[in-house]
A and B are shown apart, each in its own frame.
Chain A
């Protein structure tokens, strides 16, 4: 019998602390598989965020650093410039990247820093208990928008990929989802493409991954993925937003 599928060696054996059905685990696996398949494990450095993925350094079997909240792209910039042979990626949630880290991500992108950003967008603050995030949808109930997000009061969610794609610096930006197997396979291709962009020295690459938060959305894992497909994808269309040949 041949192995059709097994856990990649770029993930450690540490059990993930994420809630049951949280798609962080799927995204970790896709990033690790991309690193594995590209044969770059021994020169890859990951930068962990603040948020649910704060313990990412326990899970990736490569060099990892922990950044202050939102500052992962700044840490990655230093890491990459000091040793350009390193393959440097950040792994950030929407509370980290789109809110407190909005300046760092925007300037890293416009400088065209040759790093890869994995941006996990689940439209809510997970670790702190389900507060409204910059990416929370209009009408979405969170602990700080108990009657649903009111755009007249709180403004509209930010489409980070489209916003960054207007800049001249980025070489590759795409948005993917992990709500079913087909989209998981597509997400893997895009994550691999982002790393290849960095390996080729083309500049800044980012993949935004639409993700679920069953616990704070108050749904079962399957209901959460159905909600993602029905509500998040219309607001955050999938696809390649920018690609420089």
Chain B
């Protein structure tokens, strides 16, 4: 069981995290944040294996991973 915490307001929606997720669990939200970007969101928390690939790829360090 792993848990992702995403800092939605500093995410710029570049999507690089989604590309490296081995389970394809990340996608851009339909909502926009205060800066006008579509922040990333996790679709199924229960499937996350906590590999932290997303967090290591994120240019803006918005992802915290717990396991």
Contact = CB atoms under 8 A, between A and B. Distances in A.
Given A4-B50, A181-B57, A20 B64 contact: no
A112 interface: no
Contact of B16 (A3, A21, A29, A185): A21
Contacts of B63: 5
A25 B55 contact: no
A19 B16 CA distance: 13
Interface string B29-67: 000000001000000000000101101111111011111
Interface residues of A, number: 30
B57 A184 contact: yes
B56 A5 contact: yes
B14 A5 contact: no
Chain B interface mostly: loop
How big is the B interface, by class?
Answer: 20 to 34
A222 B64 contact: no
A5 B16 contact: no
Contact of B61 (A11, A21, A23, A220): A11
Interface of A: 1-8, 11, 15-16, 18-26, 29, 180-181, 184-185, 214, 220-222, 225
26 contacts: A1-B1, A1-B3, A1-B66, A2-B66, A2-B67, A4-B52, A4-B55, A4-B66, A5-B55, A5-B64, A5-B65, A6-B64, A7-B61, A18-B59, A20-B13, A20-B37, A21-B12, A21-B16, A25-B60, A26-B57, A26-B59, A29-B59, A180-B57, A184-B57, A185-B56, A222-B19
